Structure 1
Amino acid sequence: MKFEVKMETQNLILRSYLYDDYRNWLSAFNNRYPSQNRFDKGKMDMSECTEEWFKSLVNDHQERAINDKEYIFGVFRKFDGNHIGFVDFSTLLRDNFQWARMGYTIHNQFWRKGYGEEAVTRAINFGFEKLNYHRIEAHIDPENLPSIGLAKKVGMTFECVRNRFILENDRWINQCVYYIDKDNHLH
């Protein structure tokens, strides 16, 4: 069994990663600008990310999607096919909740072009329509103003701050919770 998804917007294609995406994927990471803020990893050491490593990553993504644990979609520009980032959903709870956490990353060399809003909006629609989530949350560091701004632009609502919620660099840090639910979502 294979999990394959392809979504389109005016400027973008969001889809499951393929083995053939390796060079495009690696190029996007290698062409990142230096870090623009403390939430941006900027240039990264990609030396361990061989083609075989990438194939294992794609296989892991497939297994996670088939098991309804996590869905990871590469974001590609339509006009040139460049990999510009990714959007992901982690299924938190099904049963009577149908609840997911969403993450999003656009490589910093593609910032300030509207791609984040376009990709996240399309992914949210897919999450409601095809993955049958009722509630989608974004967990964001309170100081990550660009990410908070994007959550607001796509219609997410601030709910609360969860104190000492996520472990990062051996520290428990607070997270702002923004959410959108299917009943109040404007397509």
Structure 2
Amino acid sequence: MTKNLRLHFTTQRLIIRPLEENDYESWLGGFVNRKPSQHKHDRGHIDMSEATEPWFAALVERQRQEIKADDLYIFGIFDKVTKQHIGMLDIKNLSRDNFQWGEMGYFIHNQFWRQGYAFEALTELVKQARDTLQFHRIEAHINLDNPQSLHLIEKLGFQFECIRKGFIFENGSWTDQYVYYLNTHNNTLNEYL
């Protein structure tokens, strides 16, 4: 990957880009203003006492290095008008060469749920994963008991592939996950985006 990628994207309501040092207050506000947990996969309130400005600056630098290495692309999601931090997106490079294969993830702060932000942001991420980052195949790995994420991924056009047994270590045990995929260079996706 080239080091001069333009990684700042906009949608109707959102700015999607890597975090910068001056995002600290907005980023922190997104976490501090979270509601209590809404379900099993929502962490709710998060202790941010260790997230100082120097800590955040180091986080931003680590993320820059991951982008430079073409390993992991992490994007903040911000409201265009208020500049509030709404959540994060990421796409991890699983393999380049003949595969161009990545894994996508996301979270939206729970105070911003049910407003269509996840669908809007992920639609743009899929488009940029194809056009800017040149991924051909994107996977999403989802807990079996997370119907909200399943519905969202299916709405984006991802297809069910399999259940990977004992795939991720969570809450003290190895758990199964659904694997959904999207080949970004197929005709259906090109019409969709």
Q: Extract structure 1 runs of 4+ deviating beyond 4 A.
A: 1-4
Partner residue in 2 for 1:29: 31
Read off the aligned partner of 1:158 and give its amino acid letter: F
Which residue is equivalent to 1:8? 10
Q: Percent identity?
A: 47
Distance in structure 1 (CA, Å) of the matches to 2:4 and 2:32: 29
Indicate conservation of the 8 Å contact 1:164/1:172, yes or no: yes
Match in the other structure for 2:22: 20
Q: Give the corresponding residue for 1:75.
A: 77
Point out where structure 2 has 5 or more consecutive residues left out of the alignment.
none
Residue 135 of structure 1 contacts residue 179 of structure 1 at CA under 8 Å; is this kept in 2?
Answer: yes
Give the count of matched residue pairs: 187
TM-score calculated relative to the size of structure 2:
0.94
Structure 1, gaps ≥5 residues long: none
Deviations 1:84-124 (A, max 9, x none): 00100010011111000000100000000000000000001
Q: Output the aligned Cα RMSD.
A: 1.2
CA 1:3–1:133: 2 relative to 1, 3 Å: closer
1:1-187 aligned at under 5 Å gives the runs 5-184=7-186, 185=189, 186-187=192-193
Secondary structure at the counterpart of residue 155 of structure 1:
coil
Q: Secondary structure of 1:183's match?
A: coil
**SS at the partner of 2:36?**
coil
Q: In the TM superposition, what is the alpha-carbon distance from 1:2 to its structure 2 partner? A: 7.2
Q: CA deviation at 1:171?
A: 1.1
CA–CA distance in 2 between the matches of 1:79 and 1:179?
33
CA contact (8 A) 1:3 1:16 kept: no
Give me the whole-angstrom Cα distance separating, in 1, the residues matched to 2:93 and 2:60.
Answer: 18
Q: 1:129 to 1:73 in 2, by over 3 A?
A: same
CA deviations on 1:43-77 (whole Å, 9 max, x unpaired) are: 00000111000000000000000001000000001
Contact 1:2/1:62 (8 A) holds in 2 = no
